[in-house]
């Protein structure tokens, strides 16, 4: 199970495992999202761009980074929902690149309801050459383990 609100502190720093992004992932994501932008599905078009080759959809890498974080058992079954997402895309993820995420907690904030709190996690997504390809923040509603009665 994931961590409860009280267990998140700004000392938290977790390096996830890695994941190699394959051509099939990009194809599948094109179909799932319905986003067939030629940057992702047309190798001939891509040869005319600065990328030279097909690149992963930004939101695919974003989704994989959240998945890698999820596999660290930080939030599963203790989150009540994702509130907010802010994400910057710094560089391309190419077919065959391997990404991982560095997860840190940048803020914890109690709410009026005593059984929950808001946690902001920062994810730095890094490729196999150490290049930071994405940076993002997730604002999550997390369960508290011990209900804060004074807060009620």
Minimum Å gap between C-beta 22 and a copy of itself is 5
Report CA dihedral (134, 135, 140, 143) to the nearest 10 degrees: 100
Here's the x/- map for a copy of itself, 133-152, by CB under 8 A: it reads as --------------------
Minimum CB–partner distance for residue 83 and a copy of itself (Å): 6
Torsion, CA 37, CA 40, CA 46, CA 50, rounded to 10: 100
Is 50 or 150 the residue whose CB approaches a copy of itself more closely?
50
Give the separation between CA 37 and CA 56, rounded to whole angstroms.
Answer: 11
Residues in 36-95 that interact with a copy of itself by CB under 8 A: 36-39, 41-45, 49, 54, 57-60, 62-64, 66-68, 70-73, 75-77, 79-89, 92
CB of 9 or CB of 49, closer to a copy of itself: 49
Q: Which residue has the tokens 């369960």?
A: 143
Binding to a copy of itself by residue 130, rule CB under 8 A? no
Residues that bind a copy of itself (CB under 8 A): 17-20, 22-25, 27-39, 41-45, 49, 54, 57-60, 62-64, 66-68, 70-73, 75-77, 79-89, 92, 96, 98, 128
């Amino acid at each position: 199970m994931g961590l409860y609100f009280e267990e998140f502190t700004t000392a938290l720093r977790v390096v996830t495992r890695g994941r190699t992004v394959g051509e099939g992932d990009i194809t599948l994501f094109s179909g799932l999202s319905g986003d067939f932008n030629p940057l992702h599905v047309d190798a001939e078009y891509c040869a005319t761009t600065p990328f030279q080759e097909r690149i992963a959809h930004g939101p695919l890498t974003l989704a994989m980074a959240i998945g890698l974080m999820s596999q660290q058992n930080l939030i599963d079954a203790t989150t009540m929902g994702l509130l907010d997402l802010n994400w910057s895309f710094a560089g391309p993820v190419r077919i065959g690149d391997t990404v991982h995420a560095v997860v840190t907690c940048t803020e914890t904030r109690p709410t009026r309801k005593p059984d929950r709190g808001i946690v902001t996690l920062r994810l730095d997504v890094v490729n196999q050459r150490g290049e930071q390809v994405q940076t993002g923040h997730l604002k999550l509603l997390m369960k508290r383990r011990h209900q804060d009665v004074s807060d009620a």
